């Protein structure tokens, strides 16, 4: 109880001292405010970018492997596209082969797409769409959500039926005042019955396909209108959902490699003529970039915080000198060294906390800015980092002046 009372009295003395010198208090914590604002704003921007980019990549599916001829490359400038161009596309026959023989997976699907498609319904039209031919398992692998209607049945995908799932943009533009379900849309001269409307996704941060701009039809139906083969026409991709653990992913990659090499008749010394792409590799690459940005944020903010720390330390030395006789009176009345130490140390911490809190408040107001598809969200972790850094700066800036005040001789202090 005595310790709690001591801390409380020290808190009161420190608060009164700051209140009595309000202008000096405000000017003192501005350096910390700028520093915390610089650090937390960078952290918030980086976190928001990472969150939005990861959401933009969700259309590829989590923990999936995409089998195609073009490998992903992140970083570096050399990309031997001419070698990859000669590779065969994955096709429906290989998809059925993997479907029959692949063991270590949680589902697979094949898809191919045609871009810049225009859909029509009566006098209404919707252009700039992507028509994607998908197999039956596409919905589960890519976590496709429907706002209304249903997904393709197995019979519809196998019989190449003219049925379609449309995105929110085409649903709004083609059927502005009515439900799209059960209605006919005309695409590439053929009529399709709308059996479902895909849930709205909104604008993506990256230039990635959005389901709002997609029309999904059965894979075999797409093959009726466009050439989809190993060497000509549209290229197909096989999407395989992997296991949750890393060991399962490694087994899947090994099994995929063996089956595809066997299917394509590759000799032991021949290199793979297919690519197994993992979308999470892009997230890993971006994570390294974001780590650099976070480090840059620390560097930028550290200079401002350093200046703010020096400003607080300078004010604390001035405060100790102004209240030297009061310190002597307090000690003569029985105040312990700890009481004097806490009094000035709390004052320094409060100065820094006020500055840090104001900087965090500025970042919070920044999150209300309209940045288009980028949504800024300040996380609790960033708030705690800002407050924690403020406390550390307050302790470092105030420990020396507080220590000098605590060690003063009461007689000399009163005489001064």
The C-alpha atoms of residue 340 and residue 10 are separated, in whole angstroms, by 8
Q: Is the pLDDT of residue 10 over 70?
A: no
Q: Is the pLDDT of residue 58 over 80?
A: no
Q: Is the pLDDT of residue 61 over 60?
A: no
DSSP-based three-state secondary structure for 244: coil
pLDDT of residue 216: 94
pLDDT of residue 184: 92
What is the percentage of the chain residues whose pLDDT exceeds 70? 85
Q: Identify the bridge partners of residue 294 per DSSP, sorted by sequence position.
A: none
Q: Is the pLDDT of residue 357 over 80?
A: yes
Q: Is the pLDDT of residue 282 over 80?
A: no
- Report the C-alpha dihedral over residues 140, 141, 143, 148, rounded to 10 degrees: -40
Q: Which phi and psi (to 5°) does residue 195 adopt?
A: -110, -5
Pairing of strands 163-166, 275-277: unpaired
Q: Identify the bridge partners of residue 215 per DSSP, sorted by sequence position.
A: 131, 166
pLDDT of residue 310: 82
Q: Is the pLDDT of residue 364 over 80?
A: yes
- Report the C-alpha dihedral over residues 390, 395, 398, 399, rounded to 10 degrees: -170
- Residue 168, classified by CB atoms within 10 Å of its CB into exposed (0-12), middle (13-18) or buried (19+), is buried
- The residue to which tokens 């449309």 are assigned: 166
Pairing of strands 275-277, 124-134: unpaired
Q: Identify the bridge partners of residue 129 per DSSP, sorted by sequence position.
A: 117
- Residue 363, classified by CB atoms within 10 Å of its CB into exposed (0-12), middle (13-18) or buried (19+), is buried
| Nearest of 143, 139, 237, 147 to residue 194 by alpha carbon | 147
* Helix 280-322 with 337-366: angle, nearest 10 deg: 140
pLDDT band at 268 (very low <50, low <70, confident <90, very high): confident
Average pLDDT in the 56-63 region? 59
pLDDT tens per residue across span 197-211: 998 876 655 555 678
Average pLDDT in the 93-117 region? 89
Q: Is the pLDDT of residue 288 over 70?
A: yes
| Nearest of 229, 190, 198 to residue 214 by alpha carbon | 198
The C-alpha atoms of residue 3 and residue 388 are separated, in whole angstroms, by 23
Q: Average pLDDT over the chain, rounded to whole? A: 82
- The residue to which tokens 């915390």 are assigned: 36
Q: What is the pTM of this model?
A: 0.66
| Nearest of 93, 164, 153 to residue 129 by alpha carbon | 164
Name residues whose C-beta falls within 8 Å of residue 206's C-beta, 6 or more positions apart in sequence.
53, 56, 57
Q: Which phi and psi (to 5°) does residue 343 adopt?
A: -60, -50
pLDDT tens per residue across span 302-347: 777 787 788 888 878 877 887 788 778 878 877 778 778 877 788 7
The C-alpha atoms of residue 157 and residue 402 are separated, in whole angstroms, by 77
The number of C-alpha atoms within 13 Å of 231 and in the hemisphere containing its C-beta is: 1
59 near 143, Cβ under 8 Å? no
**How many residues does the structure list for the chain?**
416
The C-alpha atoms of residue 138 and residue 145 are separated, in whole angstroms, by 11
């Amino acid at each position: 109880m005595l310790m709690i009372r001591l801390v409380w009295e020290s808190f009161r003395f420190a608060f009164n001292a700051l209140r009595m010198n309000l202008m000096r208090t405000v000017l003192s914590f501005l350096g910390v405010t700028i520093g915390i604002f610089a650090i937390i704003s960078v952290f918030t921007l980086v976190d928001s970018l990472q969150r939005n980019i990861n959401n933009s990549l969700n259309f590829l599916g989590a923990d999936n492997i995409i089998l195609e001829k073009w490998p992903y490359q992140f970083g570096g400038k050399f990309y031997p596209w001419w070698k990859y161009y000669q590779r065969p596309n994955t096709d429906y026959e290989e998809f059925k082969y993997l479907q029959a023989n692949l063991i270590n997976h949680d589902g697979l699907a094949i898809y191919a797409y045609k871009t810049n498609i225009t859909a029509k319904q009566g006098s209404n039209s919707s252009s700039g769409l992507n028509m994607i031919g998908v197999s039956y398992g596409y919905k589960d692998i890519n976590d496709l959500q429907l706002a209304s209607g249903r997904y393709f049945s197995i019979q519809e995908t196998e019989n190449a039926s003219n049925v379609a799932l449309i995105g929110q943009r085409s649903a709004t533009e083609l059927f502005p005042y009515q439900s799209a379900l059960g209605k006919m849309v005309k695409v590439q001269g053929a009529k399709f019955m709308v059996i479902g409307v895909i849930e709205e996704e909104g604008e993506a941060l990256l230039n990635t396909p959005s389901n709002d701009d997609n029309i999904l039809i059965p894979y075999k139906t797409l093959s009726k209108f466009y050439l989809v083969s190993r060497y000509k026409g549209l290229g197909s991709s096989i999407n395989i959902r992997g296991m949750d653990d890393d060991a399962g992913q490694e087994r899947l990659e090994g099994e995929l490699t063996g089956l595809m090499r066997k299917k394509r008749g590759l000799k032991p010394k021949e290199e793979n003529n297919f690519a197994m792409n993992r979308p999470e590799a892009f997230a890993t690459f971006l994570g390294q970039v974001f780590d650099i940005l976070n480090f840059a944020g620390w560097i930028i903010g550290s200079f401002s915080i350093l200046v703010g720390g020096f400003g607080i330390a300078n004010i604390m030395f001035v405060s100790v000198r102004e209240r030297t006789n009061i310190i002597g009176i307090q000690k003569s009345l029985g105040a312990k060294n700890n009481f004097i130490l806490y009094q000035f140390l709390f004052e320094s911490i409060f100065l820094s906390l006020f500055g840090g809190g104001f900087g965090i408040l500025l970042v919070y107001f920044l999150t209300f800015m309209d940045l288009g598809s980028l949504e800024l969200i300040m996380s609790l972790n960033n708030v705690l980092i800002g407050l924690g850094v403020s406390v550390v700066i307050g302790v470092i800036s105030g420990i020396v002046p507080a220590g000098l005040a605590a060690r003063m001789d009461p007689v000399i202090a009163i005489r001064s």
